[in-house]
Structure 1
Amino acid sequence: MSIKNKKIKLPSGDYMPLVGFGTWLVKGRESTLKTLDMALEAGYRLFDTAAMYNNEGDIGDALKELLPRHNLSRKDIFITTKLYPEDHGKADKAIESSLKKLDCDYIDLYLIHWPGTYGKSEHAKMRSKSWEQMVECVKKGFVRNIGVSNYTVRHLKELLNNDFGIRPAVNQVEWHPFCHQKDLYDFCQKEGILLQAYQSLGGAGNRDLLENENIKNIAKKLGKTPAQVLLRWAVQQNVAIIPKSKTKEYIFSNCELDFTIPEEDMKTLFSFKQTKYDWDPNTIP
């Protein structure tokens, strides 16, 4: 089976594509329609968004128009969206808003975007309240699976130590050869939580990974692009990915990952000095 068609079974019994399409910075009706059209043509069936991205409405409109064009229906795709940090403690209302914008009956995966709150204190109390509300939304059928994003081992232990009835299915975190945490990986493996990578190619506008000479040499040896090597590095660890592009060439090549990185090259990719490009959740109590 091609990697782009591979799915991971979640605790609910649902199957989530290992390779999805990220939509951060994909905005505007025409741009979103064009981008998602290419993504569906390439074979992506998971679309990742968030309230913070301010594009749920554009995505909902685009999918309504595009799914019939590609002979698909709602059940053929997997939609992920996330709780805006300012909405901690009112996740039920946030889910209602996302459903309306996406114009669909249910969300396949809903994530707490950030363990901290905006404009509030008592972070632990507020994220706990959010999780309780998300569990209720699962019971009501508004959401099929729930998880977290940017959670450290400490945050995950706190969540798992409370008996909410539903455990997190996914933890979406910054994950690439310059930023990976073995303790987090091992903990998620042990607890049956799927790690999903964001910023697999580095920070926005930052080409440190793509221009790294070691990575370019591995790509040249394998006859692949540096981006393909970075993405394959993740899926070779069974870490899910959500690459994003607006360019047709990259949209297609980013999901063509049916090759293997040799062990010696994987060791090289694991050897880099660690650099975090995005939010640091270790600052959140």
Structure 2
Amino acid sequence: MNPKLSLSSTATMNNGHKIPLLAIGMGGMGQGHSTPKGKTAQDIVLWALESGYRHIDTATLYQNEEDIGIDQLYESTLKSVETSLSKFQTSYLDLVLVHSPKPGTQNRLECYKALQELVRQEKIKSIGVSNYRVNHLKELMDTNPEIIPTVNQIEVHPWHTRKEIVSYCIEHNIIIEAFSPLTRGKKFNDPTLIEITKKYNKSPAQILIRWGLQNNFIVLPKSMNKEHIVNNTNVYDFEIEQEDMETLGNLDESFITTGKDASNWD
């Protein structure tokens, strides 16, 4: 068993700040992938905090910031963060990401420039990107940014391992945040996964979370179910053997849970 991993385990980002390895995702979930709001969102966060989570992942797009505690272009990004600070009722945000590369080169570069300014104003501690492919990361790095992205949030699980992007991020000391690490449950009946769950006497969700943790990813599972939220933290009393890690890692079939690869934008 790896004694280094626990619910309080963190990774150190390239700016020196720490980030919890396990987070609760607050995006689309449940039937129809609806976004939790109101009391539902509040309950999820409460259950997560009671279970020991200290990392909550949300976005302006989800429209539930007020319940749990970015626009692109320079000026709109500044305004968006101010709005988020007001909704969260806090003086700073720990981590803010460019949500996607979709709006195009100029917009995403201006957005990132604004985020750097907000770090200088001490309104944000850390900044990063989401759904960035290698070409998007190179585009940003070619501008010689004063602040290197701390994380890149992408869909990662054994059936979509994103090896090229992961390798580039490792090379540049950018942490991978894995969203949809549980494949929205779509691969829970995979025969290989089922065999591994039997070996370790763990659920498919627990195996997939542990796989992500042992790959040094920040893992962002989602659930609207209290029992599942709690069970998703029970991943520190075992370690997946290297042979099984490799078996899971060889399942790659470029499977995208949403049916559309958000990182394919130019």
Q: In 1, are the aligned partners of 2:131 and 2:263 still within 8 Å (CA)?
A: no
Query: Who is 1:31 aligned against?
Result: 40
1:183-198 aligned at under 5 Å gives the runs 183-198=164-179
> Could you tell me which of 266, 273, 278 is aligned with 2:245?
266
Post-superposition Cα deviations, 1:187-221, rounded to whole Å, max 9, x if no partner, equal 11110000010000114xxx331121210110111
Helix, strand or coil: the match of 1:110? strand
Cα deviation code 1:137-185 (max 9, x no counterpart): 0000111000000000111011111122001000000001111121111
Q: Structure 2: which amino acid aligns with 1:154?
A: N
Deviation at 1:260, TM superposition (A): 1.2
**TM-score normalized by the length of structure 1:** 0.85
Work out the CA distance in 1 between the residues paired with 2:151 and 2:122: 18
Query: Does the CA-based 8 Å contact 1:39-1:251 persist in structure 2?
Result: yes
For the pair 1:100 / 2:74, whether they are aligned, the reply is no
Distance 2:214 2:263 in 1: 27
Residue of structure 2 aligned with 1:234, choices 198, 208, 212: 212
Equivalences for residues 199-210 of structure 1 within 5 A = 199-203=180-184, 207-210=185-188
Give the AA of the match of 1:56: E
Q: 1:12 aligns with which of 6, 11, 15?
A: 15
Shift of 1:14: 1.3
Aligned residue in 1 for 2:31: none
Cα distance in 2, alignment partners of residues 178 and 228 from structure 1: 16
Aligned residue pairs total 253
Q: Do the aligned residues in 2 keep the contact of 1:3 with 1:256 (CA within 8 Å)?
A: no
1:256 and 1:94 mapped to 2: Cα distance? 36
Q: What is the correspondence of 1:1-285 to structure 2 with a 5 Å cutoff?
A: 1-25=4-28, 26-60=35-69, 83-84=70-71, 87-89=72-74, 90-117=76-103, 123-203=104-184, 207-258=185-236, 259-272=238-251, 273-278=253-258, 279-285=260-266
CA RMSD of aligned residues (A): 1.5
| One-letter identity of the residue aligned with 2:160 | C
Say which is worse superposed, 212-221 or 140-149, in terms of deviation: 212-221
CA shift, 1:3, in A, is: 2.5
- Distance in 1 between the 2:242 and 2:84 partners? 42
SS in structure 1 of the partner of residue 68 of structure 2: helix
Kindly indicate whether the alpha-carbon contact (under 8 Å) linking 2:95 and 2:124 is maintained by their aligned counterparts in 1: yes
1:71 matched residue in structure 2: none
What 5-or-longer segments of structure 2 have no aligned partner? 29-34
Hey, what's the Cα distance between the residues in 1 that align with 2:244 and 2:230? 24
SS in 1 for 2:177: strand
